[in-house]
Amino acid sequence: MTEIMEWIGPLSVEQRTAMGLAGAAIAFLVVVGVLAIFLGWLRSLGVCVALVALAVVALFLMPLGTSRLVSHPAPAADYEAAMKTFETELLPSSQPLNPLCDPYVLSHGEKTKRVVVLLHGVSSCPHAYVDFAPLLHERGDNVLVVRMPQNGYADRASDTLGKITAEDLAEFADRVVDTAAGLGDEVVFLGISAGGTIAGWVAQNRSDVDRAVLVAPFFGLGGTGPWTNSAAMRAMLVLPDFTIWKDPAQRENFQGGMAHAYVRQSTRGTGQIMRLGEAVAEQAAKGSPAAGDIVVVMNDADTAVSNRVTDRVVDRWVADGADVTSYTFPAKFGLGHEIIDPEEPGADPSISYPVLLQLIDDPSAFDPAAVPMPMPEPAAAPATPAKSAD
C-alpha cells in the first residue's frame, strides 16, 4: 500500500481524478457482474444504469441553498472603528495559529486614499503576501492582509477545512470589507484561488468596493466545464468528507511543502467554496455586480482551476454591462496556480507582480502586449570529453 501511495503522491489533480473515475467504472462493472449472477447480464446492466441515472438526476435537483447567502454590510465609519473591527473580528483565532499566519495591517496610522485587501487561497495563509503586501504599502496604501476562516492553524495536518461553509465565507467577506471601508477612501479587494472566489462574492454584493481583483479564482475544478463542475460540487456536498493529502504516503507526517500551508485538503470544504462560487454565478445571471469595476486574472498553464467555469461568470458580468478587465497569462510563461506566493512552486514574481500592480492601479492603462516574455533558460554547454592519459 505504501508503494501505491508513493506512486499517487506526485500525480496532478486531473490524474487523480481520472484514477478515481476509473475506479468508479471498475466498481460499477463489478456490481453489474455480481447482479448478473441472479438477473442476467442485460437486466443487471439496465438496473445499474437506471440507478446511476436516478442518482445523477437527484444530484442536480438537490437545492443548494444559495438564496440564503446574503450580504449584510456594516462599514466602519472611520480609521479607529476599522482598527477596532480588525482587532475584535479578524485578528482573534479559536485555535493556535501558525506563527507565519497572523492577519495584519500595514498601516500609515490613518485613513489613506486607498486600502488594498489581500486574501490568500485555501490551505494557505497571510504569509502568501509576505513580498507583495509591502510593495503596496510603499506606494502609500494601507494594506489589510486577512486570514480565511479555518486556515492558518498551527497544526498543518488539521482537518478543520472540512468545517468551511459558504455562509461563513460570505459573512467573513462582509467583515473584511466593513473593516477596509474605514482604512481607505477607495477599497480594492484582491483574492487568489478560493480568495478569488470570495473576491467574486464581494464584487457582486458590495457597492463600497471600488475594484475587485480576482486572481486564478476558484469557480471550478481544473479540467471541468460548467456541468461537470456542478456535478462534482454537488457530490462533494452530499458525500462524506474525504481528505486529499499532499503526500498520500506520509499523510500527517509529511514535513515538506511550504511551512505556512496545510498538508491536506477537504472535499467538503472544497464543495462549500464552489457553492459560494455558484451563488456568485446565479446572482450574476440575475443582476449587475455592485463593485465599481472588476479585474479577472487567469493563467493558461493553471491546472488547478477551470478557466471555462470562470469565463461563465465573467461573461454574465459583461452581459450585465459591468466594467470588467480580463487578462490571461500565456501558458508559455510556465506559471503555477498560486502566482503571488513567492514560495509556491511555479511562481515568478518578476512576471506576475508588475502585471498585478498595474491592474490594481489602473486596469484601463494595462497593455497585455507590454508584459515581458520570460527569458529562456540558457542552454547547457556541451560536456567536454575527458582526455585519456597517454
- What digits encode the pLDDT tens for the residues 316-351? 999 999 999 999 999 999 999 999 999 998 899 999
Closest alpha carbon to 119 in 201, 43, 182, 38:
201
Q: What is the pLDDT of residues 139-169, one digit of tens each?
A: 999 999 999 999 999 999 999 999 999 999 9
- Cα angle 254, 125, 267 (rounded to 5 degrees) comes to 65
Q: Per the structure block, which three cell numbers stand in for 113?
A: 486614499
The total number of residues shown for the chain amounts to 390
Distance CA 55, CA 333 (A): 42
Q: Is the pLDDT of residue 288 over 60?
A: yes
Q: Is the pLDDT of residue 134 over 90?
A: yes
In one letter, which amino acid is 263? V
> 371 CB contacts (<8 Å, ≥6 apart)?
329, 351, 354, 355
Per-residue pLDDT band at 390 (split at 50, 70, 90): very low
Per-residue pLDDT band at 362 (split at 50, 70, 90): very high
Per-residue pLDDT band at 59 (split at 50, 70, 90): low
Per-residue pLDDT band at 382 (split at 50, 70, 90): low
Structure-derived torsion over alpha carbons of residues 90, 165, 281, 340, reported in degrees to the nearest 10: 50
- Sign of the alpha-carbon torsion through 354, 196, 18, 266: positive
Looking at per-residue confidence, does 204 or 249 come out higher?
A: 204
Per-residue pLDDT band at 22 (split at 50, 70, 90): confident
Q: What is the pLDDT of residues 170-221, one digit of tens each?
A: 999 999 999 999 999 999 999 999 999 999 999 999 999 999 999 999 999 9
**Residue 45: what pLDDT?**
81
**Residue 159: what pLDDT?**
92
The three-class DSSP label of residue 306 is: coil
Distance CA 79, CA 184 (A): 8
Q: What is the pLDDT of residues 61-97, one digit of tens each?
A: 666 788 889 999 999 999 999 999 999 999 999 999 9
- Diameter over CA atoms, the chain: 87
**Residue 388: what pLDDT?**
43
**Residue 61: what pLDDT?**
65
Q: Is the pLDDT of residue 386 over 50?
A: no
Closest alpha carbon to 180 in 192, 170, 172, 189:
189
Q: What is the mean pLDDT of residues 129-133?
A: 98
In one letter, which amino acid is 148? M
Distance CA 147, CA 97 (A): 10
Instruction: State CA 363 to chain mean position distance.
Output: 22
Mean model confidence pLDDT for the chain: 88
Q: Is the pLDDT of residue 389 over 50?
A: no
Residue given cell 464543495 in the structure block: 271
